[in-house]
Amino acid sequence: MNGLKDYLPKEPMAPIVTETIPSGSEWGYQLKWDGVRILSLLNGGEVSLVSRKLLNKTALYPEVVSSLSELKEQRLILDGEVVYFHPELGRPVFQKVLQRERSRAISTSAPLFTYVLFDILLDGDRDMRQLPYIERHQRLQQIVANKPGLLVADLFNDGESLWKWAEDRGWEGIVIKRLSSPYREGKKHQDWYKKKIAIRLKTEAIAMIIREGRVASLVLAGDDGSYIGRASLGLNEQTKRQLLHYAGLHSGSACWKELHTDLKKEKLAWLSKPLTVEVTFLEWSQDGMMRHPKLLGIQGLG
DNA sequence: AAGCCTACATTTGTCAGTTC
DNA sequence: GAACTGACAAATGTAGGCTT
């Protein structure tokens, strides 16, 4: 019999970003649970947890280890997402996961995390990876059925409805899986897709951050003129050159009396004529910043 | 308070190889 | 030779912890 590690992928199977939701009976749909990807290895009473990059996370999520303890006499490799489910909001809150990931000592009053499972790679002696996803999902449900702290991600058959449901309730997005698909490493497949729900905003770039004589990112202000973050995703070299040119033509003075600490160490080029930009981002952070902002377009650039 | 660290996600640029 | 693709590195940003 092979060791458990022989069944561990170099990287877990990952969904590919898509804009259009594939439809048809060969596809299944799941909510995208916003947390950290964790593979779990169970064997002979031992439980260990590893991250996307196969780093050991066993000590970081003791409650997950404990939730899995009922299953630990079996020989299993499971795949899923560790999330903090906010009871009032009715959805996962990623910030809580970040707090846990960055803490060394876990306080006893730390919020409890849930392990949301969506795949099984090994079941006893059986390599499950070649089985169709629908069968792996069914087997996972049999094994995990109603264990506290564990959840099997539901599989739905109507992608558009799930998308609307997720959108209405502020979830991160949905994952679309080909029901016949084997488990393959990384993104070398055409079987798993994800579509993220993004907030769209038209806002103003009032300054640019300059590094080594080049535009590094745009400083964005919200409706009330306050700092809501910076954005660089979506800028290519050509756009950066255009921006630098624009900054030269419309050089202005500082808008704020006091700079956000974020910006204090940066070299800024203030604009006398702000640029209207469109951005998307995943969500607002607690202190009013955009999480993962991305520029869609900039108006008024030559 | 500043600066560095770790971990993660994602895009952009580049290079090499393949295809038309 | 142009256009596409995959693999890879670099860049950018997120955020709290830790040290000074």
Q: Where are the domains of chain A?
A: 10-196, 199-299
Q: Which nucleotide is nearest to A50 (CA to C1')?
A: B7
Contact A43, A197 (CB under 8 A): no
Q: Which nucleotide is nearest to A188 (CA to C1')?
A: C6
For domain A199-299, the CATH superfamily is Nucleic acid-binding proteins (2.40.50.140)
pLDDT at residue A234, as a whole number:
75
Query: Which pLDDT tens digit goes with each residue over A181-208?
Result: 888 777 666 788 877 776 777 788 888 8
Rounded distance in angstroms from the CA atom of residue A125 to the C1' atom of nucleotide C12: 44
Classify strands A126-127 and A283-284 as parallel, antiparallel or unpaired.
unpaired
pLDDT at residue A286 tops 60 = no
Nearest residue to B12 via alpha carbon and C1': A236
Nearest residue to B8 via alpha carbon and C1': A36
Ramachandran angles phi, psi of A189, nearest 5°: -165, 175
Rounded distance in angstroms from the CA atom of residue A55 to the C1' atom of nucleotide C19: 25
In eight-state DSSP terms, residue A19 is S
Distance, first Cα to last Cα, chain A: 66
Query: Which pLDDT tens digit goes with each residue over A87-129?
Result: 777 888 776 776 776 565 555 555 678 888 999 999 999 999 8
| Identical fold between A10-196 and A199-299 | no
pLDDT at residue A8, as a whole number:
78
Classify strands A126-127 and A114-123 as parallel, antiparallel or unpaired.
antiparallel
Rounded distance in angstroms from the CA atom of residue A237 to the C1' atom of nucleotide B13: 9
What lies within 8 Å, CB to CB, of A83 at 6+ separation is A33, A34, A35, A92, A97, A113, A114, A116
What lies within 8 Å, CB to CB, of A125 at 6+ separation is A1, A75
CATH code reported for the domain at A10-196: 3.30.470.30
